[in-house]
Amino acid sequence: MIARIWHGWTTHENADAYYQALTSEVIPSIEPMNIEGFRKIEVLRRGFYDEVEFITIMYFDSIENIKAFTREDYETAHVPEVAQKVLKRWDERSQHYEVENIIHVDVM
């Protein structure tokens, strides 16, 4: 499995607007594409003194599935206009990592 990771930053004032755009427009536009090998998307949010960072992590079965989704240079980030309007800055390229199996150990 491959994780496609992307970061975007916005102001505290625009953080809720960005999250709303992400969850009501951006993500819903991806899911109906029925992209082969696409498994899920996660959103992480972290506040700093002067800005708020968002991280999206999309999970795919393979790099080939990501290439089918992006249709161009697979590392180039796609940031829709609705998101650009409320973001201060963002990664222009996404990072891709192999997801390794994790062994869970109960500690008592």
Q: Which of 70, 63, 67, 89 is nearest to 9 (CA)?
A: 89
- 104 belongs to a structural domain: no
Identify any residues that bridge with 45 across adjacent strands, giving them in sequence order: 54
Would you say residue 20 lies in a domain?
yes
In total, how many domains does the chain have? 1
β-strands 38-47, 95-98 pairing: unpaired
Q: Has residue 103 been placed in a domain?
A: no
Q: Place 108 in a pLDDT band, splitting at 50, 70 and 90.
A: low
We report the CATH number of the domain holding residue 46 as 3.30.70.100
Domain extent for 69: 2-98
| Predicted TM-score (pTM) of this structure | 0.87
CA angle 99, 92, 21 (to 5 degrees): 85
Is 105 a domain residue?
A: no
CA triple 54-42-1, angle to 5 deg:
125
pLDDT tens track for 46-89: 999 999 999 999 999 999 999 988 877 899 998 999 999 999 99
